[in-house]
Structure 1
Amino acid sequence: MELDDVDWKLLDLLQHDGRMTFTELAKRVSLSAPATTERVRRLEQAGIVTGYAAVVDPQRLGLPIEAIVRVKVRSLDTPRFRERVVALALVRDADHVTGDDCWLLRVVCRSMVELERFVEQAQRYGDTTTSLVFSSHVRNRPLTRAVVEGTAVD
C-alpha cells in the first residue's frame, strides 16, 4: 500500500496517542472526520495499524525488577521451551534471534527470588545470560517515514 503525507501524519498521531478521536485526528490532518475515519480503517485493513493498547508501568503494579534473559536453547528443546517458558505471563517480550543465543526474553518480576526461579526454569532448556535493566531510554519508538524510506541515519 502506498502511503501519502496524510497517512504518515495519521500514523504519527496514532502512535503517540492511540485514543485520539477521529474528530481530533481530522483537525490535525485537515480532513473531514469521515475521510479521516476511512483512511484509518484502510490502514487497519492493510495490516499497517495492527491494534491499540494501553502502556502500563510494571513498577507501579509491584513488578520492580526487569531483566533481559538470553537463552541458548538446544534445538530439540525449542518446542518445550516455547510452551513452558515463553508462555509464562512474566515474559513481556520474546524474540527468537540469530547468533550465539537463540532467544532474547524481557521479563518483569516481583523479586530477585522470582527472577532466580525463572532463570532456573529457562536453564532446563539451555545456557542463560541474565542482565538487569537499570533504565530504558527508548521503548516502542514510533516508526517514521524516515525509517521506512531508509533516510533515518543520514
Structure 2
Amino acid sequence: MNALRHRLKPAAKRRPGRGVRLAKHRAICDCLVYIRFVKLIICKILFCILRFIPNDVKRDPGRKQPMTGIDEVDLAILRVLSDDATATNVAIGKQVNLSGPATFERIKRLKNDGIITGSRTEIDPHAIGRPFLAFIFLKAKGGLKKKQVKELEKIPEIEEIHSTAGQFSILLKVRTRAAADMEDIFERIYAIEGVESSETIITFHTFLSRAPHIP
C-alpha cells in the first residue's frame, strides 16, 4: 500500500534552467532599450520642428483658436492695412512688434473670421474719365427685394446699393462720364419691376472719402 501511495504522488514541477531565465531577462532589457530609443528619436524630431517656429508664434498672447474677438495687436494691423493694403507681412510686423510669420497668421485669421473682407486699389475717377458722381434715392413698391438688387447690380455705373429707412427704400451711388449718361441709367432703373419714383443728388466735389475708423 505504501508503495502504491508513493507512486501516486504528483511529480514535482521543474524550475526553468538558468539559461532560460537569462534569455527572458535579455529580451525584456532589449524591449526597454528599444522603447527608450524610439522616445529619443521622437523628442529629437519635435525639438527640430520647434527650432524653426518663431517665439512670438509659439507664445502669442493675443492668439485665439478659434478667434472670438480682436485685440490691440489686431487693431494695430488693421490700422496699417487701412493706410496701405499693399504692405508686406514683414513691414506690418515691424510696426506691431511681431515677426512676419506671426503677422501672416493673424491676417489669415482676420480674413477667415470675415473681419478683413478684401483689398482693393483706389483709383482716381477723374483719371479714367468718370468724374460725375450722383446719389439716387429710389422708392420701390413693397420695399427693397432681392430680385431688384440683382437687376441693379447689372448696371455697371452703380457702385453701391443701400437699403434705407424713411420715404425711400433704396440708395444708389452712381458714377458716370457726364450728366448726360444719367438718362440711359434711369431708363434701365425704371425698367426694373417695382421701382416707382426717384430723387437724385448730384455732387460737385468730394472732400472726404476714407476707410472705417479703427479705434
Structure-2-length-normalised TM-score: 0.62
Q: Which residue of 1 aligns with 2:110?
A: 43
Structure 1 SS opposite 2:126: helix
Q: Which residue of 2 aligns with 1:128?
A: 198
Quickly say closer, same or farther: Cα 1:100–1:49, change in 2 above 3 A.
Answer: same
Question: Does the 8 A contact of 1:92 with 1:106 survive in 2?
Answer: yes
Supply the distance in 1 between the matched residues of 2:126 and 2:209 (Cα, whole angstroms). Answer: 15
RMSD after superposition = 1.9
Structure-1-length-normalised TM-score: 0.84
The structure whose Rg is larger is 2
Q: Which residue of 2 aligns with 1:138?
A: 208
Structure 2 SS opposite 1:24: helix
In the TM superposition, residue 116 of structure 1 has moved relative to its aligned partner by: 2.1
Q: Larger RCO: Structure 1 or Structure 2 (Cα < 8 Å, ≥ 6 residues apart)?
A: 1
Q: Sequence identity of aligned pairs in percent? A: 26
Structure 2 SS opposite 1:61: coil
Q: Which residue of 2 aligns with 1:63?
A: 130
Letter in 1 for 2:203: V
> How many pairs does the alignment contain?
145
Question: Does the 8 A contact of 1:122 with 1:128 survive in 2?
Answer: no
Supply the distance in 2 between the matched residues of 1:144 and 1:74 (Cα, whole angstroms). Answer: 37
Letter in 1 for 2:134: A
In the TM superposition, residue 82 of structure 1 has moved relative to its aligned partner by: 2.6
Supply the distance in 1 between the matched residues of 2:146 and 2:115 (Cα, whole angstroms). Answer: 30
In the TM superposition, residue 76 of structure 1 has moved relative to its aligned partner by: 7.9
